[in-house]
Structure 1
Amino acid sequence: MLKIILKRVLQIIPILFIVVTLVFGITRVIPGDPAAVMLGPQASADEVMKLRDELGLNDSISKQYGTYMKGLLKGDLGKSYSYSESVGKLIKETFPNTLILASCSIVLALFIGIPLGIISATKQYSIFDYISMIAALIGVSMPIFWLGLMLVLVFSVNLGWLPSMGMGSMDNGIGDVISHLVLPTIALSTIPSATFARITRSSMLESVKQDYVKALRAKGLSERVVIWKHVLKNALPPIITVLGLQISSALSGAILTETIFNWPGMGKLIVDAIGNRDYALVQGAVLFIAVIYVAINLLVDIVYMYINPKVSYDSVKGGS
């Protein structure tokens, strides 16, 4: 197992190198001049050119890339053009907010999706099964940006029950923070909830058909013990794999949610950086998310191998 883990860790290096190179190239073809954006429309051509020299934007692309890679090797993500602060500091300030939102959405999705999938599997072809799976299909297909806007329209604008913008403040009490968290959490948890419901139902149906389940029932164990203690345990590997993917997707998918609800996290930071043509901040933030993404997938692979030692390296690779 240690050899497989080491091999997986080594595979991360070229993946991150490709991500860095692609993001660097993409930022350079985004229309707009960072210097012109920073100085505003009233700036003269000489002022723009001077700022470009200071930022190193007049250097050749190869030289800019080389300078950026040297900084990365030293652990320096660069300095933000628009905030005049290090990219690492900005990520450190905003990532906890994204982590809070993503964690709450995943926890909510687990509490909704897994029980829903289990009940649907135990009541296969029932009215509940049909309704829950149709709801799951709608949930998977529903765009986050549309759902977010509808939540704001209904619960904030029309009913006035919940705030729609910002994160709230602990100075106003924990209730203020929770009320600001409700709508973005619901929006971000919809797709994971539907995904967990569908994969749990599928995995449970596959496990419940095994011979050991018939043997457990023949021993006189209650259906509740058979389902929740034995069948669910054997149905966990696919669910854990999907859990890792959904955590990664929640962190990256928070970009739209944070933008809609003005949540001060990394997603909004990236959107603002793109608008400001802040190359360094976009590159650093995307690279950080990529590192989190591959780290979570690696952790899922390790957990998968632990709970299912018979799994082959090929299947682990395919699950990532």
Structure 2
Amino acid sequence: MRRVLLLVPALCAAFALLCACDPGETGEGGGRPPGAPTGVTAAASSATSVHVMWNAVATDRGIQVYEVYRGPTKVKEVPGSAHMVDVTMLKPSTSYAFTVRARDTDGRLGPPSRAVRAKTPAAVAADRSAPTRPGTPKGRAIGSRAVQLAWSRATDDQDVMSYDIHQGDTKIHSVGGNQTATVVTGLRPGKRYSFTIRARDAADNVSPATEALRITTPGTDDGRGTAPTGFRATTHQEDGAFHLDLSWIPPRTDGVVTEYEVRLDGRTATSVVFGGNAPRERATYSFYLGPERGVSHRVRIRGRLPDGTWGGFSTERTVTTGVMTGARD
């Protein structure tokens, strides 16, 4: 999971103050624990692996990790930014039940999802032959933020169990061996993407990757369309120290922006992760600056977009500790 990375310990306290709890909230750090993940699916990728996917969890804190369980046993932990995993080292011809739990950045563990089942196929003795390379993929943009991909079937001396879809060097999805098309969403306008497909058989042999399919989504994006707007920056004094107060309107995208990078004086000061309950209107954040009065700082912010790339920076603001009015749009 992407973690909230802070320059100084006092930032933790500032963030806790920012996310005030109501009387019904529970947990050591205050606030409600994450809910149970929804949309959980499981499908055999081979005789010894199962591909598990789920939806992001909404929470009043960022999600630190997702824990994946096989029956009562925790078998995987994945970053909160990921919503899929391959569970490996399973037995052939065996039925398994999987659940997923979310743990937030305060360490609170939510309840398990509903259990989903998948059965691994029978293993083929001494199968060392990988499937053939799938046919060259074809595709088209669907609007400015999604693409449709299709490819022709690979062949195998037994059966193709699944197809792995890669965006650049990163595996982003997996579909069953009887499926030769999928839709990739959460992209951004005017950006060039590269996709490849690999076939996988029951023995976990993986084919060579297809030729790369490069698709440019329509539209223009000079960064301004993906930058936070209405960016405001002020300072306040509390307990003998000065704090920087930020607020902004999130970029308008097809998905929710859950992570932001704050640049202070040209360097990364902190990453802010809201998790699945990220604000869609005005977002706010506050952190510690120091005890000295009259110190000026330049600050700007940008968000990580649903396709995993960074959007444009907001307008840069200058604030001075001890001066209570900050620049704004």
- TM-score per shorter chain, which class? under 0.3
Q: Name the structure with the higher strand share.
A: 2
Q: Name the structure with the higher helix share.
A: 1
- Using CA pairs under 8 Å that are at least 6 residues apart, name the structure with larger relative contact order, 1 or 2: 1
Q: TM-score, normalised by structure 1?
A: 0.22
Q: TM-score, normalised by structure 2?
A: 0.21
